[in-house]
Amino acid sequence: MRHLLGADMAEERLVTWRRMEALMAQGKVPANPYKLGAGQLAGNVTGPSAQTHLAKLNELSPTALRPQMEGINATVPNRLARAAGGVSSSQMGDGVSEMLARQWQQQFNPPAKGQKVPLYGRASMLLTFIRNPAGIPLPGFGTGNVATGTDDTLIVSILRASSLKGDLTLLMDMVDAQSLLSAMNDKGQRLTAERLLVVSGYYRQLGVMNATNQIQKWVEAGNNNDNRRHAQTLFRSLPTAIRNQVLTRLEKAKIPAARYR
């Protein structure tokens, strides 16, 4: 389940994770409202003392980390602004989205420079491109797009920087590999991104459920050469023990072997 009532669950998890780490780093973690007794948890975070448990969130620094009621259908420009760290996004014109993507690209040229971009910032950029692939008109941009070719180059740059940083696996777990690759229009850049996932060992460390889910998503995306090849690359990259378990699950799901082997 990626979207619910207009909210992007990947983005929700990313923000929640970031807030929890900030609470820990700033020494603001509230008392645990739950207690373990007789093998069961007892407590209620939403009870009469809910405000006590949640109040620390409104003390986080910077203030951008504090919860805001901006609605479940936040505008695309607002999402872009958050990912860019505060770039103004009010009534952005057709050329601004391209400029914004190029501005991000500068942060990753060369890739070693991109290691300085926080993990959450990199994840937010990738989630922006997943939600709004190149070639898809965006609300608030008229007929403009997030970028016209710049975004796929930027995606690869972000992956390279993350590989150098050593947190590529964590980044991909945040954004979902299949969703990211399928959002890329440039075939050459998509293949480069996939090779990074293979060479970095990301596919090899996938668990049975995650690997099975990724392959099923490629199968559901359509029976064409590109989708089959992506599924095959993932399947062949798995360690033998994991691959055999994934194979069993896919066979139970009655997915034709030709779609991923």
Helices (H), 176-257: 177-182, 187-199, 208-220, 225-237, 240-252
Residue 5: per-residue pLDDT: 45
* Tokens encoding 233: 């690359």
Are 192 and 156 in contact by the 8 Å Cβ rule? The answer is: yes
Instruction: Name the DSSP class of 61.
Output: S
Phi and psi of 91, rounded to 5°? 50, 50
Residue 135: per-residue pLDDT: 43
Q: Using the structure block, give the residue that is written with the tokens 């919860």.
A: 67
SS (H, E, C) 114-137: HCCCCHHHHHHHHHHHHHCCCCCC
* Tokens encoding 35: 């207690």
pTM exceeding the 0.75 threshold for the entire prediction: no
Positions in the chain short of pLDDT 50: 1, 4-6, 71-77, 81-96, 135-148
As beta bridge partners, residue 36 has 41
Are 182 and 221 in contact by the 8 Å Cβ rule? The answer is: yes
- C-alpha distances in Å from residue 143, one per residue of 28, 65, 92, 95, 97: 45, 32, 11, 10, 11
- Distance from C-alpha of 32 to C-alpha of 12, rounded to nearest angstrom: 21
pLDDT tens, 58-89?
888 888 778 776 544 444 445 554 444 433 33
pLDDT tens, 34-63?
888 888 888 877 766 666 777 888 888 888
How high is the mean pLDDT of the chain? 77
Q: Using the structure block, give the residue that is written with the tokens 């820990």.
A: 24
Q: Are strands 3-4 and 7-8 parallel, antiparallel or unpaired?
A: antiparallel
Are 128 and 83 in contact by the 8 Å Cβ rule? The answer is: yes
Phi and psi of 57, rounded to 5°? -60, -30
- Distance from C-alpha of 85 to C-alpha of 121, rounded to nearest angstrom: 8
Are 258 and 223 in contact by the 8 Å Cβ rule? The answer is: no
Residue 72: per-residue pLDDT: 43
Neighbours of 224 (CB within 10 A): 8
pLDDT tens, 204-223?
999 999 999 999 999 999 99
